[in-house]
Amino acid sequence: MAEYIPSTRDWVREQVELYEGSGGKEGTTLRDTGMPVIIVTNKGNKTGAIRKTPLMRVVDGDNYILVGSQGGAPKHPVWYYNLKADPNVEIRDETKVQSMWVREVTDQAERDRLWAIAVAAFPNYDEYQGRTDRVIPVFLAEPAN
């Protein structure tokens, strides 16, 4: 089994530890916002190590919408490249943990529909898109068969 390498960002590492250490009963919201988050576990594209990232909880039926906003930063988040290299992830949503398969959404109509759902769940995404010249990537995580 691959080694887990915690994030170098204190708040990310601490949130993941609290979320997972409590079995999904604590640390389930983004800092002081009260907005729900999930933990996405994936494999690092360079190291092969296990990486864990809290992302906003945005759902579409049984699927999760993963938005690579990084607060409107000029570059994609590192996890974007991890998911492109290996689409197999695990998602923890509070106490529920499941294996999922992700794909970047490139069809414009599907992306527009999912983006609208994401913005409804977390309105800051529109503001973040306005801060950057890049198109913020959207992934759809679907249950693995």
Taking the model in full, what pTM does it have?
0.95
Segments making up each domain of the chain, as ranges: 10-143
How far is 127 from 76, CA to CA, in rounded Å?
16
Rg (CA), the chain: 14
CATH code for the part of the protein at 10-143: 2.30.110.10
Bridge partners for 101 per DSSP? 88, 142
Q: Of 66, 59, 87, 86, give the one whose Cα is nearest residue 139.
A: 66
- Mean pLDDT, residues 104-111 taken together: 98
pLDDT score recorded for residue 2:
86
CA angle 51, 23, 98 (to 5 degrees): 60
pLDDT band with cut points at 50, 70 and 90 for residue 31 = confident
CB 102 within 8 Å of CB 80: no
pLDDT band with cut points at 50, 70 and 90 for residue 145 = confident
pLDDT, tens digit, 9 for 90 and up, residues 75-95: 999 999 999 999 999 999 999
